[in-house]
Amino acid sequence: PVVLPGARGLLFTVGSEPVSNRIAVLPAGAPPLRILASGTDARYLSTGHIVFWRDGSIWAAPFDLDRLQLSGDAVPVVNRVGVMSNGGGLFAVSANRTLAYMCPVETPARTLVWVDHNGRETALGALPGPYMEPRLSPDEQKVLLSYRSVTTEDIWLYDVNRQTTDEFLAEPASEWRAFWSADGDRALVMSRREGGFRTYAKRANGLGGVEKIVGDVHEPYALTPDGIALIHPGAAPSRTMS
């Protein structure tokens, strides 16, 4: 949060991922907060503007400090500015209103290959993309892929026989690690669709909705072969010393 001049209120970010965050203000005295605009990591300038990150750019909008609301439309100031996964923009503004910023680091485009026991590679027909953490289905006919770019974090699916690469789970929220159930019927995905990371399941054929996995599982690593337990990191149980 940023304390506005004269302690008139707080300027802060609402949300859990940069692509869907919003800029809000909370007036002094704690009345209901007000949503000002879509974006993240707003800063107030002595010129009577706020600057913030949105869609890969730094935006500026005139801000009425007395009424605590925007007094005009936001306009882009600088393009290709990076942002952290927690919503922090990679920029700073000095007292004399000099803007310093970092460009985003693009994830390199990658492709998929088969590798045999002798290390020989055979290219698959997947389109190049910013893929990470490929997970091969039990029948070896499909591959789950974490698709992570500067502006989106989704799950894609590559079909080995059809040689197609399609979106499997793409939401405004971040979708990260994905892996298969033992029978290959479902994919389990780590997602922020309800705020913090939780684990969800979706049928591999894409039909039906997304099912939330019961339990407080934030960061799953694998499903046991019998399909009845998730392996994930957690706090060690407390011990009573005697």
The structure tokens 């998929």 sit at 112
Per-residue pLDDT, averaged over 30-34, amounts to 84
Query: Is the per-residue pLDDT at 168 higher than 80?
Result: yes
Per-position b or e across 141-169, b if 16+ CB within 10 A of its CB: ebbbbbbbebebbbbbbbebeeeebeebb
Distance CA 63, CA 228 (A): 54
Band of residue 86 on the pLDDT scale cut at 50, 70, 90: confident
**In this predicted model, what pLDDT tens digit does every residue of 177-233 receive, in sequence order?**
888 888 888 888 887 777 667 788 899 888 888 888 765 666 666 777 776 677 776
Q: Is 11 exposed, middle or buried (0-12, 13-18, 19+ CB in 10 A)?
A: buried
Q: Residue holding tokens 């989704």?
A: 154
* Average pLDDT estimate for 17-22: 76
pLDDT value at 62 more than 90: yes
Q: What is the pLDDT of residue 109?
A: 84
Alpha helices in 150-210 (DSSP H): none
* pLDDT tens-digit readout, 116-136: 999 999 998 888 888 888 999
Q: Which among 115, 223, 225 is positioned nearest to 178, based on CA atoms? A: 223
Q: Quick count: other Cβ atoms within 10 Å of Cβ 38?
A: 16
Asked whether residue 144 carries a pLDDT value surpassing 90, the answer given is yes
